[in-house]
Amino acid sequence: MRHLLDTRTLSRDDALLILDTAEDMAATQQREMKKLPTLRGKSVVNLFFEDSTRTRISFEAAAKRLSADVINFSAKGSSVSKGESLKDTAQTLQAIGADGVIIRHPASGAASRLASSGWIEAGVLNAGDGMHEHPTQALLDAFTMRRRLHGAASRGKGLDGVSVVIIGDIAHSRVARSNLWLLIALGAQVSLVAPETLLPFGVRDWPVSIYHSLDEALRVENPDVVMMLRIQTERMHAAFFPNEREYARNWGFDDRRLQTLSERAIVMHPGPMNRGLEISSGAADSPRSTVLEQVANGVSVRMACLYLLLSGERTEG
Ligand code: CP
């Protein structure tokens, strides 16, 4: 792997390699919180054109635990606000000598553009591009599912036969898209639940079941995993969104719905959460919730991605 741009083109073998390498990283971190020398002398740039808490901090922690030098770049306060283009920004990073660039950008396709442009030689990791993909979020979600559902014996395993119901603002969600392709590659069965206005164009061509009623989806699918999505009001036209009370009643994962889950089922959310809208505090803070585990696992998964892309151990493809 030279870049990590999406999960749609990630093979099952490569996904398992990343997840198993993340297990190694987690084990090392648990044994001794010391830095690994793997990326000593390498420079990693966090290039964020959109806000982030979890992804940016997690990539920074992952790179530092592998002994890389980290440069944080935020569009706010940079020459981007003076109109500097992605090309000129990228060439500036090339001149500085970046080995890896982690990019979050509001435009779908920005990470691929950077990787294929020839502007930089660095490995590119997509940290979320518009409504397209967020591959490391999907990988950390799959890692969390594997650990919760398979326990200590998760290494080498996919998610064959696991039922995952993804609920909410599918239309604007790069997390939903990346999860969908990765989960299918790993053998899971995926169902989507949303009001018609929050389903994306072309969704009926995707290999998923589609529901409008959350209660029906929970009854029919008996899910192992419930994944709630944030309502992305910043990306939507007001006409697409039912009012908040109606949304919470019909599509919110509340305490009553939590009680209907099977014993082994887990509740996920990528964050940031709108408590009381797409998820109740009772569900978000329950023992079934993996919200904080997802954040913690994100560091191990991102260490694995940085190691596999930048260490020079495996650069074909
Ligand atoms: N899950 C996620 O991408 O969160 P941030 O926007 O805080 O990075």
User: If you measure from the C-alpha of residue 44 to the centroid of ligand 1, how many angstroms do you get, rounded to a whole number?
Assistant: 19
Phi first, then psi: what are they for 151, rounded to 5°? 65, -145
Residue (of 233, 171, 223) closest to 202 by Cα position: 171
User: If you measure from the C-alpha of residue 162 to the centroid of ligand 1, how many angstroms do you get, rounded to a whole number?
Assistant: 25
Q: Which atom of ligand 1 is nearest to the CA of 58?
A: 8
Mean pLDDT of all residues belonging to the chain: 94
Q: Which amino acid is at 259?
A: Q
The superfamily CATH assigns to domain 12-133+295-310 is: Aspartate/ornithine carbamoyltransferase (3.40.50.1370)
Edge-to-edge strand list for the sheet holding 100-105 = 69-74, 43-48, 100-105, 123-129
Interface TM-score (ipTM) > 0.90: yes
CA-CA-CA-CA torsion sign (75, 198, 133, 286): positive
User: If you measure from the C-alpha of residue 53 to the centroid of ligand 1, how many angstroms do you get, rounded to a whole number?
Assistant: 6
Residue (of 283, 195, 281) closest to 246 by Cα position: 195
CB 228 within 8 A of CB 289: no
In this structure, the residue with its CA closest to atom 1 of ligand 1 is 270
Residue extents of the structural domains in the chain: 12-133+295-310, 135-290
Does the annotation flag 230 for ligand binding? yes
The superfamily CATH assigns to domain 135-290 is: Aspartate/ornithine carbamoyltransferase (3.40.50.1370)
What are 199-239's pLDDT values in tens digits? 999 999 999 999 999 999 999 999 999 999 999 887 776 66
Residues 6+ apart with CB under 8 A from 103: 47, 48, 49, 110, 111, 114, 124, 125, 126, 127, 129
The pLDDT of 261-275, averaged and rounded, is 97
